[in-house]
Structure 1
Amino acid sequence: MASTIAKSTINFLNELSRNNTREWFAENKPRYEAARKDFLGFLDEMLKEMTHFEPVANAQTGKDLVFRIYRDVRFSNDKRPYKDHFGAYVADGGRKSILPGYYLHLAGNNNSFLAGGLWMPPASYLKAVRQEIDYSLDELKGIVETPAFKKKFGELQGEQLKTTPKGYDKENPAIEYLRFKSWNAVMPLSDKIVLGNDFMDVVLDGFKSLKPFNDFLAAPLKEIGED
């Protein structure tokens, strides 16, 4: 198991971002396989450690979390065939889950980050979370407005409505949080941090800090079936 990320993995992702062609990828397929194996080993070790504070990490493996590197270009103007990063999502149900979870994004050129929250949920989930925020604003503020949380993640990110959501008043004290369509907390990770000997500790500490936020977002969704 790997508790660090190899420099060759970041170098591969860096070069892929500059040479995003099928020909280059085919020539460098062994490097891709080695980089992916390195990332999966890190994820397996990470999951083992996460079980101490997050039950959904139980019985999952790195392969359950990691997204394919091949891009679906059928409906995109961007025809680059490959993603220039590795992404992994820890949530109930694995990488395809629509529930709140923990995301690790590994990329070259200081573009790595870890994140948590709820990304583009279906309408029923959106409605339930907004209702929870309206009822429990102080609880949410007690999580995302603490100095420790802000030092790691800054302000919440995510797509927002330009207008007031249906059923709410623009004077609602929670309006800045109710306008979100995704609620995401993002912590940037430099290459120096990613390649450091304590990277596992950094990731685990970040994910531990995200757990109360994820738990807050998940609570109102427990009674809802998927749309």
Structure 2
Amino acid sequence: MQKKGVAPAVFSFLKKLEKNNNRDWFTTHKKEFKALETDMKSFFNDLLEEVKGHDEIEGLKVFRIYRDVRFSKNKTPYKINFSSSLSRAGAKLRGGYYTHIQPNNASFIAAGFWQPNKDDLLRIRKELELDASVFRDLIGAKKFKSIWGDLVGDEVKTAPKGFDKAHQNIDLIKKKQFIFTRSFSDKEVLDPKFMQEVNKSFAAIRPYFDLMSDILTTNLNGESLLD
């Protein structure tokens, strides 16, 4: 069966929602939203099956359109995007995938480590403090960079506690997130081959996931933490 791509109606609705981001308008157009939501859930599930062709996936999460405004200065009640995440399966397989569909050329995909817990973050930093050469070679490879560009993510201003701010790898050590993103234009998202392009990109991140999974499941001596 031919997998459906992202329909132009998705962008059309989200653009109207951006201009009318209130409950009255949304309630009036709820039926239209539910139909598009069903289509996007189908798209995300089809993408899940594609990614399963090269990775073990634990689950799919499709994010709700309703915003949590309790602690936000932005009180608009609805997101102006459809998005989902895929989590990898098992203790040995670390990392996750994210897909974000938003009009006005604001769509993107991401892969990596959004919120590593305290122990994982320290383990990554200790590895980079010891030796970052393999890490740099991987993320700096021409083919990899042609797809994913540079490493991004939040970071501390100088150096984490216990680390030398003059360390040669401090640019990596001060990271709090280890993420790669790839942007897409509206035209690219609406292309019938968009899902294929996303899946190819996710497959290309695998060497990075393999390296980080190896780091996070071993100690600094390379001994497994899973036994």
TM-score normalised by L of structure 1: 0.87
Q: What runs of 5+ residues in structure 2 fail to find an aligned partner?
A: 220-224
Question: Please, which moves more after superposition, 17-26 or 160-169?
Answer: 160-169
| Offset of residue 223 of structure 1 | 6.9
Q: How many residues align?
A: 215
Instruction: Percent identity, please.
Output: 33
1:49 aligned partner, one-letter code: E
Deviation at 1:69, TM superposition (A): 0.9
**Residue equivalent to 2:147:** 152
Q: Does 1:77 align with 2:78?
A: no
Aligned letter for 2:53?
H
Which of structure 1's runs of 4+ aligned residues deviate more than 4 A?
A: none
How has the CA–CA distance of structure 1 residues 223 and 82 changed in structure 2, closer, same or farther, with 3 Å as cutoff?
A: farther
- Report the 3-state secondary structure (helix = DSSP H, G, I; strand = E; otherwise coil) of the residue aligned with 2:77: coil
Letter in 1 for 2:207: P
Partner of 1:7: 8
Instruction: Give RMSD over aligned pairs.
Output: 2.1
Q: Confirm or deny that 1:206 pairs with 2:201.
A: yes
- Shift in CA distance, 27/142, structure 1 to aligned 2, threshold 3 Å: same
In 1, the alpha carbon distance for the partners of 2:131 and 2:57 equals 24
- Name the counterpart of 2:41: 40
Q: Give the greater-gyration-radius structure (CA).
A: 2
Deviations 1:85-144 (A, max 9, x none): 111111137xxxxx5201000111110000111112221121012123334512211221
* AA matched with 1:65: K
Alpha-carbon contact 1:111-1:190 (below 8 Å) kept? yes
- Any residues of structure 2 matched to 1:93-172 within 5 Å, and which? 100-172=95-167
Q: Which residue of 1 aligns with 2:222?
A: none
Judge conservation of contact 2:109–2:183 (CA < 8 Å) in 1: yes
Task: Give how far 1:148 is off.
Answer: 2.0
2:172 counterpart residue number: 177
2:67–2:77 Cα contact (<8 Å) kept:
yes
Asked if the contact 1:112–1:188 (Cα under 8 Å) also holds between the matched residues in 2, the reply is yes
CA contact (8 A) 2:55 2:88 kept: no
